[in-house]
Amino acid sequence: MFESLIQLDKQVLIFINNLGTEQWDPFWLAVTNQFSWIPLFALILFLILKNFGWKRGGVMILFLIALVAISDQFTVFVKDNSYRLRPINDPEIAHLLRVLVKPQSFSFMSGHATTSTFFSVFVIFLLREKYKKIYLILIFPFLFAFSRLYLAVHFPLDVISGILTGLIFANIYYFFFKKVDEKLFF
């Protein structure tokens, strides 16, 4: 059962990766680059400060910074202990993939998917009462995670597990944030 799931995971990745074309490669390379998302991050910081002021907004921003660090360290720990090769380094399928980038770390689980989902869901929790369209931020983790498949640097299960982990972490983190927020500001 587990082996058939892994084989399906590989087949889906090969299919998605081979949908790619040279015409779309620059777009997906830009999407996967965290620095391409700086305007979104700047907008979020602006909205937080505008709605909550410097003191409370500053605490929220510190929580966002800690969130990224926690997520990054957690995914590095999981990768370093799972030993799953990245698709481009998997000798069984590497020759079937279009290779655009060559990271050498392990594959499971996607830090891009985990952190972007964790970040986006937490931001939704912070701003959902102020902005009904804040849910559009979910486009960010969807594109960010899909870029990892397009570029064949993660398997679908790596991305799906990252998204699920990000959702769980965001809910737990928001629970603790509310406790701190209530003590400091109410």
Number of domains forming the structure of the chain:
1
Question: Within a domain: residue 26?
Answer: no
What pTM, to 2 d.p., does this model score? 0.93
Calpha distance 159→180 (Å, rounded): 31
Question: Within a domain: residue 149?
Answer: yes
Residue 99: the pLDDT is 87
Residue 104: the pLDDT is 83
Calpha distance 113→145 (Å, rounded): 5
Instruction: Extract the residue ranges of the chain whose pLDDT is less than 70.
Output: none
Which residues span the domain enclosing 157? 33-185
* Token reading at 176: 């603790």
Amino acid residing at 88: I
Question: Within a domain: residue 8?
Answer: no
Residue 103: the pLDDT is 86
Residue 19: the pLDDT is 92
- What dihedral angle (degrees, nearest 10) is formed by the CA atoms of 69, 74, 77, 80? -90
Question: Within a domain: residue 42?
Answer: yes
Cα angle value 32/87/8 (rounded, 5°): 110
Question: Within a domain: residue 57?
Answer: yes
Residue 96: the pLDDT is 94
Question: Within a domain: residue 67?
Answer: yes
Question: Within a domain: residue 85?
Answer: yes
Question: Within a domain: residue 23?
Answer: no
Closest CA to 126 of 177, 183, 53: 177
